[in-house]
Amino acid sequence: MRTLSFLILSIGASIFLPSALMAAEPITPIESPADVDTSKVEIGKQLFFDPRLSKSGFLSCNSCHNLSMGGSDNLTSSVGHGWQQGPINSPTVLNSAYNLAQFWDGRAADLKEQAAGPIANPGEMAQPHEVALEVIASIPEYVKSFNATFGDDSITLDRVTDVIAEFERTLVTPNSRFDKWLTGDEDALTSDELEGYQLFKSNGCAGCHNGPAAGATLFQKMGIVSAYETDNPAQGRYAVTGKESDRMVFKVPTLRNIELTYPYFHDGSVSTLEEAVQVMGDIQVGRRFTNVETAKIVSFLKTLTGDQPNFALPRLPPSTPNTPQPNPYGAL
């Protein structure tokens, strides 16, 4: 039995692998951006980790997009200023440069526009932009870096979000086993993983989860075949466009590093990849997968885990007597 399925698979694989056909795969390899501005990246990296951008002096971008945990916080919804419960699951920042727009409902056009949101959001970092800018401007080493990068001392929201976005562009995760297979290493995947990929394609998952990020290219309804049951009030694109047809339409999330970014879905209600795959089967493509099929699809999904960000932790320059004081315990 084992030999037989192995034989069938190797025939399948050899039909599948020639480079002429590889270009037709719906998922394509993730590549590092070629043209990053390294001086912006270095300041952006510091600011991404700097909790002084928050009112409490405690929350940084990395608190909710932990780069040691797949760029997410692994919580149903994030913990914001004053231990407030966030309204929605925190998506990963890894490979977020590939998103057609940012946020579950796509309300920010790009990473730069997005980065201004969480700093001032009262439920997240809760720091008015003026104060966040004052904090940065009070720290001579930051001023020096901004000067070296932009040619003068001015610290503006535009520059701050620009450098954070430039850092985020570098948060790509190449060299997953799946990408090795895509680029010609036939031994990179096991037969179960390959069968999982075939099931992923033959059941229409790749119709929505495609491109280099295995997602992030489309807005689609959550609940095509049957409605998605959730207590979370988020309505997706409807909040942005006001169109009835956009109710429950969300950005199709990336499936890169999906084994690391549990719990799943915008409401963070599903804690295992097995259940997430079964929910997608049920409500998006109308297929009830067997446990064996589910396990194969999950084993394929786990091959999408790539190289995680790997750099020395940035050293943050010290505050000065002029730096606005953090307020971790005051009124919300």
Decide if 124 is catalytic: yes
What's the DSSP call for residue 187? G
Nearer to ligand HEC, 178 or 200 (CB): 200
Nearer to ligand HEC, 164 or 182 (CB): 164
Task: Read off the tokens for 228.
Answer: 């998605």
Select which of 42, 124, 166, 293 is catalytic: 124
Min dist CB 135 to ligand HEC, Å, is 13
One-character DSSP codes across 245-314 = GGTTEEEPPP-TTTTTS-SBSTT--B--HHHHHHHHIIIII-----HHHHHHHHHHHHTT--PPP--PPP
Min dist CB 13 to ligand HEC, Å, is 21
Q: Please say whether the beta carbons of 314 and 62 come within 8 A.
A: no
Nearer to ligand HEC, 133 or 277 (CB): 277
User: How many helices and strands, by DSSP H and E, does the chain display?
Assistant: 14, 4
User: Distance between CA 218 and CA 237 in Å, rounded?
Assistant: 12
Nearer to ligand HEC, 111 or 139 (CB): 111
Min dist CB 179 to ligand HEC, Å, is 18
Q: Applying CB under 6 A, which residues contact ligand HEC?
A: 59, 61, 63-65, 78, 80, 86, 88, 90-91, 93, 96, 99, 102-104, 111, 114-115, 118-119, 124-125, 164, 168, 200, 203-205, 207-209, 220, 222, 224, 250, 252-253, 255, 258, 261, 264-266, 276-277, 280-281, 284-285, 297
Q: Is 296 left (phi over 0), alpha (psi -120 to 50) or beta?
A: alpha
**Maximum pairwise Cα distance, the chain:** 73
- By the 10 Å C-beta count (0-12 exposed, 13-18 middle, 19+ buried), 295 is classed as middle
Min dist CB 285 to ligand HEC, Å, is 5
Residue numbers annotated as active site: 124
